[in-house]
Amino acid sequence: DGFPAARLFSQGYSYTYDDVIFLPHYIDFPTDAVSLSTKLSRRVALATPCVASPMDTVTESSMAAAMASLGAIGIIHSNNNVSHQASLIRLAKSHKIPFNHDLIFKSPSDSILSGEEFSSAPCIFVTESGTQNSKLLGTVEKSNWEGLDSKETRVSEYMTKSSVSIPASYSFEDVAGYLAKNELQYVPLVRDNGEEGEEIVNLVTSDDVERIQGFPKFGLPSLGADGEFLVGASIGTRESDKERLEHLVKAGVNVVVLDSSQGNSIYQIEMIKYAKKTYPELDLIGGNVVTAYQAQNLIQAGVDGLRVGMGSGSICTTQEVCAVGRGQAAAVYKVASIAAQSGVPVIADGGISNSGHIVKALTLGASTVMMGSFLAGSNEAPGTYVYQDGRRVKKYRGMGSLEAMTKGSDARYLGDKAKLKIAQGVVGAVADKGSVLKFIPYTMQAVKQGFQDLGASSLQSAHDLLRSGVLRLEVRTGAAQVEGGVHGLVSYEKKSF
Ligand code: XMP
């Protein structure tokens, strides 16, 4: 009944996730017996098979810390200067609590001229030199400032003197206990940088505590040998990226992704050889690739992981602009089949818009899924919410959009030396999704149910069942796809948890 994957994917069609459907198999274990633990790359293990994409509207320190706290990982983007990228890595790694506020600092002689200087955080911090890494002297809350006669008054004259802080190494339970015991509304978290002094790295409010206590309890966090969160970062393949790589390694990056839209190039292969020789201990992920031929070249050059996908992302226009790419289901199956022979884990990158797509990607051979739009619009994504047609949205843009490329991401498309810039992506907005700390646990529970229906209690068992031809698939006709979605209702509420 149905087709084995090898047969289905050798008929000349570029199938994507929605084109194919698995036939259910046999269940002999409960949902909670399913383990999704996996490998991102040869030496980086994860409890949760999700990766936040290196895009400037998806992954900075808040997202990376939140993903690591869930047993997953975030790859910090490189559409910035290297010192900024390195500081985002340090910040994510120094967290024990997976959320972040925009912190604002003033020196005692500064003034606050406009209410807009207050971010969403409950106060502005006053430090000796007005910077993050200087001694905390006090705080100014918006309500204190609003009552002032003259806004030009120096903050030293009306700030609340307080140097109360707690170490950034405190666990969530420690911080919650501290706030409750001292009846505080918020407390700054401070990291001791030895001779360089102290640095205020985060702020936790009692609202944060209440919010996080309401989230589902979820598996093991992703921690490195140093006990800090696992954090990845991307680089390009330019000569200057060698220096970037050096800074990222110094900042403690745990895995590096070579970010190219077509990874099978002389530029990437040279960079792989250089990085493997210079940092043999560092896992390096190459890509993007969609064919066995591309994958073989990068595996031969020495990559520890492969990122798969071309033109399948929600903001991508590569297939339309350049006429190259592949349906994502076919790409994942073909690349994973080759990569498995060398023990190289595969990341299915792009095109994920529901838990069913994750089940399909992981069963077709991927070890993790990388997501952009699925995570964009969350509390942890960079950027602020705005209202558009009555809906709360956050910006989400392709790294090949003209807007992103003006900041340097054109190197990903090897277009940085070209005279005329051509966009391979768009700028858009996605709806407010709340916190990844809430929706990733629910999504993973749905993925486990999918695995249970397939009779696979782990990723390895799903891969084995697929390759041995025990798991069968079929192509869905257009009508079958319509039938597989909600249909025939006048209206309904789309809520999964
Ligand atoms: P999703 O579907 O998760 O896709 O939003 C995210 C992935 O899309 C890739 N990406 C792009 N591809 N033009 C492209 O052709 C772009 O501007 C662009 N920006 C991101 C990238 O692989 C990401 O992980």
Q: Is the CB of 140 under 6 A from ligand 1?
A: no
Q: Is the CB of 74 under 6 A from ligand 1?
A: no
Residue to substitute in 67, 78, 261 for testing ligand 1 pocket (most ligand atoms within 8 angstroms of CB): 261
Q: In this predicted structure, what is the pLDDT of residue 423?
A: 86
- Going from the Cα of 452 to the center of ligand 1, the distance in angstroms, rounded, reads 30
- Going from the Cα of 351 to the center of ligand 1, the distance in angstroms, rounded, reads 8
Q: Residue 142: in which H helix or E strand, if any? A: helix 142-146
398 is an annotated ligand-binding site residue: yes
Q: Give the position of tokens 């997953």.
A: 72
Torsion of Cα atoms, 388 then 393 then 395 then 398, to 10°: -100
**Gap between the Cα atoms of 235 and 243, Å rounded:** 10
Point out the ligand 1 atom lying closest to the alpha carbon of residue 350.
4
8 A C-beta contact, residue 409 and residue 399 = yes
Q: In this predicted structure, what is the pLDDT of residue 416?
A: 66
**Gap between the Cα atoms of 237 and 270, Å rounded:** 8
Q: Is the CB of 465 under 6 A from ligand 1?
A: no
Residue to substitute in 18, 50, 51, 55 for testing ligand 1 pocket (most ligand atoms within 8 angstroms of CB): 55
Q: Is the CB of 313 under 6 A from ligand 1?
A: yes
Q: Give the position of tokens 């350049």.
A: 322
Give φ, ψ of 50 to 5 degrees.
-120, 145
Q: In this predicted structure, what is the pLDDT of residue 91?
A: 87
pTM of the model as a whole: 0.91
386-388: strand order across its sheet: 386-388, 391-397, 427-431
Q: In this predicted structure, what is the pLDDT of residue 415?
A: 67
Q: Is the CB of 350 under 6 A from ligand 1?
A: yes
Known catalytic residues are 316, 412
Q: Looking at this protein, which amino acid is placed at residue 430?
A: V
ipTM of the complex: 0.98
- 109-164 pLDDT, tens digit per residue, is 998 888 888 877 788 999 988 888 888 889 988 888 888 888 888 988 889 888 78
8 A C-beta contact, residue 306 and residue 332 = no
316 is an annotated ligand-binding site residue: yes
Residue to substitute in 16, 50, 53 for testing ligand 1 pocket (most ligand atoms within 8 angstroms of CB): 53
Q: Is the CB of 415 under 6 A from ligand 1?
A: no
CA separation (Å) from 158 to 112, 137, 139, 140, 356?
11, 12, 9, 8, 55
Q: In this predicted structure, what is the pLDDT of residue 203?
A: 87
Q: Is the CB of 18 under 6 A from ligand 1?
A: no
- 318-341 pLDDT, tens digit per residue, is 888 889 999 999 999 999 999 999
Looking at residue 316, what DSSP letter applies?
Answer: B
What is the Rg, in whole angstroms, of the alpha carbon atoms belonging to the chain?
24
E strand spans, 142-229? 160-161, 166-167, 186-192, 198-205
pLDDT, block means (10 residues), the chain with 497 residues? 96 96 96 96 97 97 94 96 93 79 87 82 88 86 84 87 85 89 90 77 87 81 90 96 97 96 96 97 97 98 97 87 94 98 98 97 98 95 91 92 81 71 89 92 96 97 96 95 88 79
8 A C-beta contact, residue 452 and residue 31 = yes
**Gap between the Cα atoms of 377 and 244, Å rounded:** 28
**Gap between the Cα atoms of 36 and 409, Å rounded:** 33
Point out the ligand 1 atom lying closest to the alpha carbon of residue 375.
3
Q: Looking at this protein, which amino acid is placed at residue 110?
A: D
Two tokens, residue 366: 């991927």
**Gap between the Cα atoms of 472 and 7, Å rounded:** 10
